[in-house]
């Protein structure tokens, strides 16, 4: 186990260094003069230009620049936003819980519905339900999720008036961000001041439902398909036949003997959805004006706030790498064959 862990960490470090190299190169690949690009239409006097170059360290040799960049990163300095003059890490920290809350809700939705649909489709193979699940999941897999979001808003917010159009909470409520998770904050605010904040929790849930469904659609399709095929694979195994032959109840065969073994590949697939979720968050947050890091990055790109773009991407990538690393380790624990393979 220990050497397995070491091997994984051995891959983790060069990958992380590679990502820093990528985000470092990113800002230097911009055609033209970076300072002029950053200030936009306004022109700068040569002295101010030189001062800005010096301040950003752009006047030094490229290798020195990279070493400086790494040094800054190791000190936890991710630069400041050109727009707000706020530390990039501080901005990320405040916005990240919103994205995390959305992603967790989406993942919960996708996992619960996807597992159930996949399991039932596999048990009732060839039935109308099975065909239905497969068709819907292929449709979900092909879905342009930004359009899906618009359609759901049109249906549930505009036509039926069930859910709000955007944001995380109605402005009428007085909820102080403490954990950053709106569900928890709203719950606590409601308990603390029931007269003012009655219904805050329910309102937060209403705001969360549509974005979570939209973001969870593609993972849902992937999980349902994977669960179904993995279940079908395991249902063919000899030990399942043995379990049936010795007279175990069908529920026991499905849930104890089949599901546990079928879940291993499904778990990996769920872990791999983190990348999809982070990419999807960019679109979902834009549609629902959800104040998370996806919207933050898109806004930063829109106003050429390069320190935010550069290090925001670095942070998101590190997050994905780290999650995949954890999934890898968990997979190694769950399946000894992986752990001992070369």
Partner 1 sequence: MANAKTLPTMAVAEEPVINYPSPLKEFWLGFSHNKGAVAGLAFICLIVICALFAPWLAPYSPIEQFRDHLLTPPSWAQGGSSAFLLGTDEVGRDILSRLIHGARLSLLIGLSSVVMSLVPGILMGLLAAFFPRWIGQGIMRLMDIMMALPSLLLAVAIMAILGPGLINAMIAIAVVSLPAYVRLTRASAMTELNKDYVTASRVAGAGLFRLMLITVLPNCMAPLIVHATMSFSSAILEIAALGFLGMGVQPPTPEWGTMLASARDYIESAWWVVTLPGLTILLSVLAINLMGDGLRDALDPKLKRAA
Residues that bind partner 1 (CB under 8 A): 11, 14-15, 18-19, 22, 26, 29-31, 138-139, 141-144, 146-148, 150-151, 153-154, 158, 225, 229, 233, 275-276, 278-280, 282-283, 286-287, 297-298, 301-302, 309, 313, 316-317, 320-321, 324
Q: Tokens 């898109």 map to which residue? A: 298
- Cβ-based neighbours of 20, under 8 Å, separated by 6 or more: 69, 70, 73, 314
Nearer to partner 1, 111 or 324 (CB): 324
Q: What's the min distance (Å) between Cβ of 203 and partner 1?
A: 21
Q: How far is the CB of 246 from partner 1 (least distance, A)?
A: 27
Least distance in angstroms from the C-beta of 218 to partner 1: 10
Q: For partner 1, give the closer residue by CB, 32 or 76.
A: 32
What is the smallest separation between the CB atom of 63 and partner 1, expressed in angstroms? 19
Across-strand partners of 87? 80
| Residue placing its CB nearer to partner 1 in the complex, 112 or 155 | 155
Give whichever of 153 and 259 is closer to partner 1, judged by the CB atom.
153
CA distances, 16 to each of 13, 65, 330 (Å): 5, 18, 20
What is the dihedral angle through the alpha carbons of 148, 117, 321, 307, rounded to the nearest 10 degrees? 20
Nearest to 150 by CA among 287, 5, 7: 287
Which residue number, 165 or 184, has a Cβ lying nearer to partner 1? 165
Q: Are 1 and 322 in contact (CB under 8 A)?
A: no
Q: CB atoms < 10 A from the CB of 241, how many?
A: 12
Instruction: Pick between residue 138 and residue 191 the one whose CB is nearest to partner 1.
Output: 138
> Minimum Å distance from CB 138 to partner 1?
6
Q: Least distance in Å: CB of 159 to partner 1?
A: 9
Comparing CB distances to partner 1, the nearer of 94 and 286 is 286
Q: Which C-beta is closer to partner 1: that of 65 or that of 323? A: 323
Total residues belonging to the chain: 342
Structure tokens at 323: 């999650």
In the complex, the smallest distance separating the C-beta of residue 278 from partner 1, rounded to whole angstroms, is 5
Cβ-based burial of 151 (10 A; exposed 0-12, middle 13-18, buried ≥19): exposed
| Nearest-approach distance from CB 304 to partner 1, in angstroms | 8
Q: Is 197 exposed, middle or buried (0-12, 13-18, 19+ CB in 10 A)?
A: buried
Three-state SS at 151: helix
Q: Which two tokens stand for residue 45?
A: 């006097």
Radius of gyration of the chain (CA): 24
């Amino acid at each position: 186990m220990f050497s397995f862990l070491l091997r994984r960490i051995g891959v983790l470090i060069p990958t992380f260094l590679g990502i820093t190299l990528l985000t470092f190169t990113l800002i230097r690949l911009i055609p033209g003069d970076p300072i002029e690009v950053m200030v936009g239409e306004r022109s700068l006097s040569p002295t101010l230009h030189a001062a800005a170059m010096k301040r950003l360290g752009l006047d030094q040799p490229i290798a020195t620049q990279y070493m400086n960049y790494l040094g800054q990163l190791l000190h936890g300095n991710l630069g400041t936003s050109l727009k707000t003059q706020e530390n990039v890490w501080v901005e990320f920290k405040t916005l990240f819980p919103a994205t995390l809350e959305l992603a967790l809700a989406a993942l919960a939705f996708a996992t619960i519905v996807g597992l159930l649909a996949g399991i039932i489709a596999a048990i009732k193979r060839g039935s109308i339900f099975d065909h239905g699940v497969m068709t819907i999941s292929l449709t979900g897999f092909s879905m342009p999720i930004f359009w899906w979001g618009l359609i759901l808003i049109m249906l549930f917010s505009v036509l039926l008036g069930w859910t709000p159009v955007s944001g995380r909470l109605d402005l009428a409520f007085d909820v102080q961000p403490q954990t950053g998770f709106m569900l928890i904050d709203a719950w606590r605010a409601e308990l603390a001041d029931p007269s003012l904040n009655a219904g805050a929790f329910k309102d937060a849930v209403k705001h969360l439902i549509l974005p979570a469904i939209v973001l969870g659609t593609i993972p849902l399709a992937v999980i349902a398909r994977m669960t179904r095929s993995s279940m079908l694979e395991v249902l063919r195994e000899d030990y399942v036949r043995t379990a049936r032959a010795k007279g175990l109840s069908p529920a026991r065969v499905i849930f104890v003997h089949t599901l546990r073994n079928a879940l291993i590949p499904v778990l990996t697939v769920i872990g791999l959805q983190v990348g999809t979720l982070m990419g999807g968050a960019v679109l979902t947050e834009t549609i629902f004006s959800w104040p998370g890091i996806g919207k933050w990055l898109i806004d930063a790109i829109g106003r050429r706030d390069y320190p935010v773009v550069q290090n925001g991407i670095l942070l998101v990538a590190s997050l994905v790498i780290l999650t995949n690393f954890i999934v890898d380790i968990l997979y190694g624990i769950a399946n000894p064959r992986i752990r001992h393979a070369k």
